[in-house]
Amino acid sequence: MTPRLKATAILATIITTTPVYSVLAEEQASSSDHARTVMERVMVIGNAEAVQDITGSAQFIGKETLDQNNYTDINRVLRQIPGVNIQEEEGYGNRPNIGLRGGRSERSADITLMEDGILIAPAPYAASSAYYFPRVSRMEAVEVRKGSSTIKFGPRTTSGAINLISSSVPQTEEIEALTAYGTDNTQRLQGHYGNSVVFGSGTFGYVFDVSHEATDGFKSIDIVGGDTGYSIQDLMGKVKFSTDVTADVFQSVEIKFGATTEESDETYIGLTQEDFNADPYRRYAASQVDNMDANHRQYHIRHFIDFGNFDATTTFYHNQFSRNWYKLDDVTVGGVRSSLSGSLSSAPHLSALKGLTDLDGGAANNLTVRANNRDYYSTGIQSDLATQFGWGETEHQVEFGARYHYDKEDRFQHEDLYAITNGVMTLASAGDPGSNANRHGTAKATALYVLDEINYGKWTFVPGVRYEYIELKREDFSSGQVRKNTVDAFVPGLGVGYAFTDEYSVFGGIHKGFAPPSPSSTNDDNEESINFELGGRYNGNVFNVELVGFFNDYSNLLGECTLSSGCTGGATGDQFNAGEVDAYGLEFSLSYDAAPALKIAGLSLPIDFNYTYTKAEFQNNFVSGFNEWGNVSAGDELPYIPEHQFYISAGVVAAEWEVYVAGKYVDEMRTQAGSGAIPFDEGTDAHFIVDVAGEYEIHEGIRFFATADNIFDTEYVSARRPAGARPGKPFTALAGVKFEF
């Protein structure tokens, strides 16, 4: 085990299937206890072993597992977890579409997304679409929580919560570096350094992570060529001051900062089915200037104080995100303006997309490129208090939390008109800044929660309630229109668990699902549901299994009109009510080390498997302006939710080397609400993708590694939104060296 893994395990109790044995001085052990308590307050699970004690579905992926495949794509990480539905977009996971238990996946807007226990979506209340997503390459753990206890992690409690844990401040010096190169001129550079030193009556610690990821991309632009990949730089640092562990009242202060810059040549235009069949990795010439320019900054100050049987963790945080996605929006030919989707089915417009028809850039014949220029701000303060006490024959662990939060989306967009001649685009006329959209959406939210974990013999009861009070406002400076909305909601939940033995347990829960409307919503309706789950676990030394059934009974499902979902026109940002929806299914997971049973010494043979069955159906008839729903009849299935999916991984691990093979099957998905057989142009392709990864220690602290994704080079339609068929990532390979000291 590397020094970093050992320090991380001591600090945060992030324990994977490999046991961690350490001999520490008494002072270090005490310091570790305090650090562990701090981490437990900001983590949704705590560690892999804690999963078996939770009265609900929970999954934990630790650092050792994250390092197995060296993924930079969060989609490939989360496929190891049952109950997660993912819609691929550009093949790299830079802007993932993640849903949980039949919830909408578009831009991960229906989940509570956090980093280190802090809301991390650009504007979690006012504009929850996650155009920014933390880099998984600098994380030491990923947690997913579903079920009744998600009420702690609002505002969205229907589907669940995902929390990414960044590098912790170590207790001893850590030095790490990684360099790698692969297909499509893919480059990875990564560095990590941290340490803690004792001074006077306290400890000063720090950790820094820096990374560079870039690729030319796997697609080719018609006629002009050019890159279709991305370049992302990420920096994160933490400094921490702690009092002496022998102090009557232990305290610590942590300051964190982070910065991410992205430049990517990504587009919203896909392909017609005919063109996809001929070459799924081409891009039309009219997408040649499409580019995303984004910058993210994050800061937090976290104070922890421990009075013995009572502790408090208070965090002030601020995030800001600026992005300008400059991309093709419309095509006008002969005075007829058509959206991207419409252009794919119109011969004159499609010819212009391909660069086969010249357009002069005038009002009647042009390519309209929109500067989707937006700034986001998210700031707040949250405090979590915890205590434990005995009362009669019961033991109580009570948590109380409060958060005041403010966020804002500022749209200042314009459109430019381009000419295209012999497939080459040139700017014909530039639009005035703010002429397409000039508006603010803001949210002020106060949230409270209380949970009481009651242990009585073999029983565990976790009642809890959350309260949200939200003030929403949208100001359109072009029209002078102002919309205001006030929302409040009580969100109760109850989890119950019973442990037959240390290995066997069952659990169940019921809770209210809630999601607020956006400032753009024209009505006051929240998304609401009643969610149920029932499951059982077996946790042994080498064999673990879990089976969970769930049922989410929506009284009102919300859908949002966004460009990424293929929405066009002035309705962008508006929300739509779907009324009653039933989402239900089954989640199964298994992990097993076959080496002991086969009596193989010196090796570990880990096997992991999970399976998810999901059905999500509308329960009433309606006609929606949301293009993915349209004319809906009761019994129609929701789009982008696979009925069947499974994941399997097998590895061989020795002291100096390891090899893993992992495969993921995803059933076909509807791209338009409906029932019966899926029309060929309204569905994705079922696919089974196999990845391989391996490492070899060539010298102490120096390891060579190699990965290959999609080793059979499977071609498949991964999505038909925003506009047209989009491919999954083809075969790619990467090789490099890790240094760990």
Q: Is the pLDDT of residue 172 over 50?
A: yes
Which of 104-108, 415-419, 713-717 has the least mean pLDDT?
104-108
Average per-residue pLDDT in the chain? 91
* CB-count burial class (<10 Å; 0-12, 13-18, 19+) for 315: buried
Q: What is the pLDDT of residue 34?
A: 61
Same domain, 499 and 548: yes
Cis status of the peptide bond prior to 463, with omega within 30 of 0: no
Q: Is the pLDDT of residue 103 over 90?
A: yes
Ordered alpha helix ranges (H), 225-322: 273-278
Cα(7)–Cα(613) distance, integer angstroms? 38
Output 299 or 625, whichever has higher pLDDT: 299
Q: Look up residue 731 and give its two tokens.
A: 């075969």
Q: What is the pLDDT of residue 32?
A: 59
Q: What number of helices (H) and strands (E) belong to the chain?
A: 8, 39
Q: What is the DSSP string of 429-448?
A: EPPPTTSSEEEEEEEEEEEE
Residue 720: name the closest of 175, 280, 116 by CA. Answer: 280
The domain boundary, picked from 166, 195, 218, lies at: 166
Q: What is the pLDDT of residue 628?
A: 86
Q: What is the pLDDT of residue 352?
A: 98
Same domain, 110 and 208: no
Number of domains comprising the chain: 2
Same domain, 88 and 220: no
Same domain, 232 and 145: no
Same domain, 159 and 303: no
The domain boundary, picked from 166, 195, 220, lies at: 166
Longest dimension (CA), the chain: 83
The domain boundary, picked from 147, 166, 185, lies at: 166
Same domain, 145 and 249: no
| Sign of the dihedral through C-alpha 681, 683, 688, 694 | positive
C-alpha distances in Å from residue 177, one per residue of 1, 77, 164, 192, 696: 16, 21, 21, 6, 16
* pLDDT tens digits along 467-483: 999 999 999 999 999 99
Residue 489: which pLDDT band, with cuts at 50, 70 and 90?
Answer: very high
Q: What is the pLDDT of residue 11?
A: 31
Question: Can you state the percent helix, strand and coil of the chain, rounding each to 5?
Answer: 15, 55, 35
Residue 625: which pLDDT band, with cuts at 50, 70 and 90?
Answer: confident
Q: Look up residue 695 and give its two tokens.
A: 């490492």
Q: What is the pLDDT of residue 569?
A: 56
Same domain, 291 and 349: yes
Give the mean model confidence (pLDDT) for residues 285-308.
97
Output 534 or 523, whichever has higher pLDDT: 534
Same domain, 493 and 527: yes
Same domain, 279 and 349: yes
Same domain, 158 and 190: no
Which of 573-582, 601-610, 661-670 has the least mean pLDDT?
573-582
* CB-count burial class (<10 Å; 0-12, 13-18, 19+) for 696: middle
Question: What proportion of the chain, given as a percentage, has pLDDT over 90?
Answer: 83
**What is the domain extent for residue 638?**
174-740
* pLDDT tens digits along 140-161: 999 999 988 789 999 999 999 9
Q: Is the pLDDT of residue 518 over 90?
A: no
Q: What is the pLDDT of residue 630?
A: 86
Residues 6+ apart with CB under 8 A from 17: 48, 64, 591, 593, 606
Same domain, 190 and 106: no
Q: What is the pLDDT of residue 577?
A: 79
Q: What is the pLDDT of residue 571?
A: 55
Same domain, 152 and 181: no
Q: What is the pLDDT of residue 576?
A: 72
* pLDDT tens digits along 410-434: 999 999 999 999 999 999 999 999 9
Task: Determine phi and psi for 603, rounding to 5 degrees.
Answer: -135, 155
